Homo-oligomer: A and B are copies of this chain.
Amino acid sequence: MASKTTRRKFLKTALTGAAGAGAAAALPARADDYITPAMTTPGKPFSGYGMPSPHEAAVKRITRPPGISPGTGGSDTPLEQLEGIITPNGLHYERHHNGVPDIDPATHKLLIHGLVKTPLEFSMDALMRYPRHSAIHFLECGGNSGALGGPQPVQASAGVIHGLLSCAEWTGVKLGLLLDEAGVQPEGKWILAESGDAASLSRSIPLTEAHEQGIIAMFQNGERIRPEQGYPVRLLMPGWEGNLNIKWLHRIKVTPGPTMTKDETSKYSQSLKGGKANQFNFIQPVKSVITRPSGGLTMNGPGYYEISGVAWSGHGKITKVEISMDKGATWVEAEMPGPILPKCLTRFRLPWEWDGKDIVLQSRSTDDQGNLQPTREQWHAPYSVAQFYQCNAIQCWQVSADNSVKNVYA
C-alpha cells in the first residue's frame, strides 16, 4: 500500500482484501449432520456468578513485581487481548499502596468535614438513598505509558506499556450534592480526599471542579465496585489522573488551599528543564494507542488486517484518530463507529492490507477541545529527563517482515 493513498482508495483496497482473510474454502463432507463432541455431552449447570472460560485463563491482569512492600505496585489491563471500550471488572487495572483492604460496608462511613457549616457522616445505606448519576468513563494512572519517556524503547506489550488504563460505567452520588448539604464555608476553596486503607492515600482537588464533576461512586459496570477499585465507595473525577480518584474513600475535608500531602508532593509533579516543576496537572491529556497489531503479537504474513485501538481524553470527546504508516509523514483517518462519549475510551478501526514488508504504525488522536496527541519529542520537550507523568506521546509499533511487532522510537 502506498503511503500517500487517499482514505477512500485505502478503504476500498483493504475491504476487498477482507473477504477471504481467514476462511478455509475446502469443505469436508459435513453439513446438516455435522456433529461435534459437545453436541453429545450434557453441559454444566447454572451458576450464581459466572467466570470466563478456562480456555481464556491466560487473559489476566499483568501483575508487576511488588515495589517497596507487598501490595505496593500495580497490575495492568491486557489491552491487546480486549475489544470494544468496556473493561470487564475482573480485568480493571490496579494501583495500590498497601494492597486491597477488606472493608465492611455495614460499618464504613464517609465523613465530610473541615470548612463546612455542618460536618456530616454518611453510612453506605444513607449514601444509597441519594439521587444517582451513571456514566461511562476511562480511568488512567498518571504514570501510565511513562515507559515511553525512557531513553530506549522497552520491548513489551500494549498492556504492559499502556495498561494502567481501563474503562467502566460508574454510578454514584454527585459530590456537589453532599457538599451542598454540609454547606461549604466561603473560605473553603479546595478539598482533601483520603482513602480508608493503611496507605491513607490523600489528594487535594480544587473545590469548584470537585463540586461540579466529582462522583461518590458505588457501582462499576452495573454491580457494586470491586474491592480493587475501592469497595464500598470511591471518588471519581472523570478524566483526572487515577491517583486522585481516591479508593476506599472515608474522608473529604474542605480546606482553604491544597494540603500538599506526601502523595502529591513526592509524586505527580512534572519536573521541567531548569529545575522547576509543574504541580497539580490533574487532567489526563488526549491520547491513543493501537492495540492490534501491538508489541509482542505475531503477524500471520501478508494479507488483510484490521488496525484497531482506543483513544481517550480527560478534556472531553475524541473527534479524530489518524493512522500513519510512513513515520508520521502522512495520516489516514480511522473509523470511529461509536459510541463516542466524553472522557471515555473510543474504539477506532482501520482496514489494512499488509504487503509483508517492514512498516511502522502510529496513531494520534484529537479531542473536542482541539488538543492533538504529540510525538514523543514534542511531549518531552519541556520536561527534565526523568519526568514521565501524563505521558501521551504517540506510540510507534514496528511491524517487521519476520512477523514480529516491536516498540520503536520512530
Contact = CB atoms under 8 A, between A and B. Distances in A.
Contacts of A306: 129-132
A126 interface: yes
A86 B101 CA distance: 26
Interface in A142-180: 168-171, 177-178, 180
Nearest to A347: B134
Interface string A32-59: 1010101111111111111111111001
B223 A56 contact: yes
Contact of A126 (B24, B56, B168): B24
Interface residues of A, number: 131
Given A131-B349, A134-B84, A226 B52 contact: yes
B34 A251 contact: yes
Stoichiometry, as copies per complex, reads 2
A209 interface: no
A239 to B, nearest CB: 16
B226 A25 contact: no
A136 B88 contact: no
Contact of A129 (B54, B104, B168, B305): B305
Contacts of A63: 46-48
A391 B55 CA distance: 37
A219 interface: yes
Given A30-B111, A34-B250, A34-B251, A94 B56 contact: no
Interface in A69-89: 70-71, 73-75, 81-89
Given A53-B224, A121-B27, A339 B341 contact: yes
21 contacts: A21-B126, A24-B123, A31-B111, A31-B253, A34-B251, A38-B197, A38-B198, A43-B198, A44-B71, A44-B99, A45-B71, A51-B90, A56-B223, A81-B223, A83-B222, A84-B171, A87-B222, A132-B306, A134-B337, A135-B337, A136-B339
